[in-house]
């Protein structure tokens, strides 16, 4: 199995993303839709990436049964939530994922990520997010994270020396 991306809360998201991107010879870009967050992308065939969020960011489950994760930067009630999460491919079906979640009493919901791909949010102990890509969802994820597709989707220029999206 492959870990595709992880998220980490850090003090200086931009700087950390730049350093990791340099180590990978990849790109560091603003994380779409989340001001102050940056992502280092390896630009490999697996979509390897690390998201760096401001230290005070936490992820919380959606407010309604089918709602997706939301990013809370107020950090007034962390309640065990964290910005750290992982996205992993799994060989089991969605039905098996939901059965395990039901058995454990953990929240599991299929979510769309801004039209790019879908995944299953599994909230371990109802506090820690693990994004799961079962066989029926992995193909679309792997398609969008191919370097040429990812660069096109994020409007990035591989030939540019700049690691940031144009404003």
- Break the chain into its structural domains and give their ranges: 3-62+70-153
Is the Cβ–Cβ distance between 5 and 86 less than 8 Å? yes
Answer whether residue 46 shows pLDDT above 80: yes
pLDDT the model gives residue 1: 66
pLDDT the model gives residue 63: 75
Enter the tokens of residue 10: 């850090």
33-52 CB burial, b ≥16 within 10 A, e <16: ebeebbbbbbbeeebbbbbb
Proportion of the chain above pLDDT 70, given as a percent: 86
19/108: higher pLDDT: 108
Decide which of 1.20.140.10, 3.90.1200.10, 3.40.50.720, 3.10.180.10 is the CATH code for 3-62+70-153: 3.10.180.10
Average pLDDT over every residue of 149-163: 72
Q: Average the pLDDT over each of 3-7, 29-33, 60-64, 161-165 and give the range with the smallest value.
A: 161-165
Tokens 């950090």 belong to residue: 75
Question: From the CB of residue 90, how many other CB atoms can be counted at a distance below 10 Å?
Answer: 18
Quick one: which of 128, 138, 157, 167 has its CA closest to 43?
157
**How many Cα neighbours within 13 Å face the side chain of 66?**
1
109/166: higher pLDDT: 109
Q: Write down the mean pLDDT value for the chain.
A: 83
Q: What is the Cα Rg of the chain in Å?
A: 16
Average pLDDT over every residue of 111-136: 90
The DSSP bridge partners found for residue 113 are 117
pLDDT the model gives residue 78: 47
Q: What is the pLDDT of residues 137-147, one digit of tens each?
A: 999 999 999 98
Average pLDDT over every residue of 52-64: 81
Answer whether residue 69 shows pLDDT above 80: no
pLDDT the model gives residue 73: 67
Q: How far apart are CA 42 and CA 159, in angstroms?
A: 15
The DSSP bridge partners found for residue 7 are 51, 85
Q: How far apart are CA 139 and CA 122, in angstroms?
A: 19
Average pLDDT over every residue of 109-133: 90
């Amino acid at each position: 199995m492959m870990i595709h991306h992880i998220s980490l809360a850090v003090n200086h998201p931009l700087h950390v993303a730049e350093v990791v991107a340099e180590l990978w010879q990849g790109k560091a870009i603003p994380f779409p839709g989340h001001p102050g967050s940056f992502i280092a992308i390896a630009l490999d065939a697996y979509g390897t990436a690390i998201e760096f969020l401001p230290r005070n960011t936490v992820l919380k489950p959606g407010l309604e049964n089918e709602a997706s994760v939301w990013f809370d930067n107020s950090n007034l009630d962390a309640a065990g939530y964290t910005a750290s999460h992982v996205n992993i491919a799994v060989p089991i079906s969605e039905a098996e994922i939901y059965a395990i979640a039901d058995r454990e009493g953990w929240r599991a919901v299929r979510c769309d990520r801004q039209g790019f791909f879908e995944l299953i949010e599994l909230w371990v102990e109802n506090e820690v997010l693990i994004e799961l890509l079962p066989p029926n969802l992995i193909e679309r994820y792997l398609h969008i994270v191919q370097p040429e597709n990812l660069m096109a989707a994020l409007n990035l220029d591989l030939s540019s020396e700049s690691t940031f999206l144009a404003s």
